[in-house]
Amino acid sequence: MVYDFLLEFIDHFGYIALFLVLCLGLIGLPIPNEVVVMTAGTLSATGILYYPFAYLAVSLGICSAMTVGYVVGRFFVKTRLFRSMQKTTKTERYFMISEKWFHKYGGFAISMSLCLPFLRHITMYVAGMNRMSYRRFVRYAYPAAFLWTLVFFLLGIVAEDHIAEIGALIEHYGIIIVIVLIVLLFIYLLFRSSRKKQPHKTLSGRK
């Protein structure tokens, strides 16, 4: 099982495993990025990993994968391998969607694409192909990556043993599930915050 392999990999290599799995996800590893980030959150909640290091590892992993995609799109777009990748039916459709988004929303297409598996990688190529400057790419890509990672990291803390099921739903239903999960997480955090602010009741007549 993919999830068991992920846990074993993290057990052997720790924070480096989190970084590598997300970075290498660019080449099609069969582990959804959402599952990896949520796993990091869950393992941090159980004390196996340290929160700041785990969050930093997954965030940098996502940022590195995005950067590699941008560099390939900008400097290696004319290679035979890249051209053959564009010709597959599935990939060509995603390239068309990403191109449309990029011309309609500009740099915000990078942030939006993070919510959709596979399209998140294609959009980085498209940003490079359209000669977006690296400085402008960083401005849209990295803040979105850290925010996206934070959402799923927190979901992992809450989800506990349901990570694999949530990851499968995200993979099939994409952005709809992401929006629902973000809303539910927001409601949950508001509920916990309101409970903490409630004054403790004391029994009348006792000093």
Residue 205 has pLDDT above 50, yes or no: no
Tens digits of per-residue pLDDT, 69-85? 899 888 877 666 556 65
pLDDT value of position 207: 43
DSSP letter for 199, please: P
* Confidence at residue 156, expressed as pLDDT on a 0 to 100 scale: 84
- Whole-number Å distance between alpha carbons of 63 and 124: 11
E strand or H helix that includes residue 170: helix 163-173
Q: Of 64, 57, 113, give the one whose Cα is nearest residue 72.
A: 64
Task: Please give the distance of CA 96 from its chain centroid, rounded to a whole number.
Answer: 22
Q: How far apart (Å, rounded) are the C-alpha atoms in residues 104 and 53?
A: 37
Confidence (pLDDT) at 206: 47
- As given in the structure block, the two tokens for residue 149 are 């990672």
User: Burial code of 149-170, b = ≥16 C-beta within 10 A, e = fewer?
Assistant: bebbbbbbbbbeeebbebbebb
Query: What's this model's pTM, rounded to 2 decimal places?
Result: 0.72
Q: What is the pLDDT of residues 112-163, one digit of tens each?
A: 888 777 788 889 988 988 889 999 999 999 999 998 899 889 888 877 666 6
pLDDT above 70 coverage of the chain, percent: 65
pLDDT at 164: 59
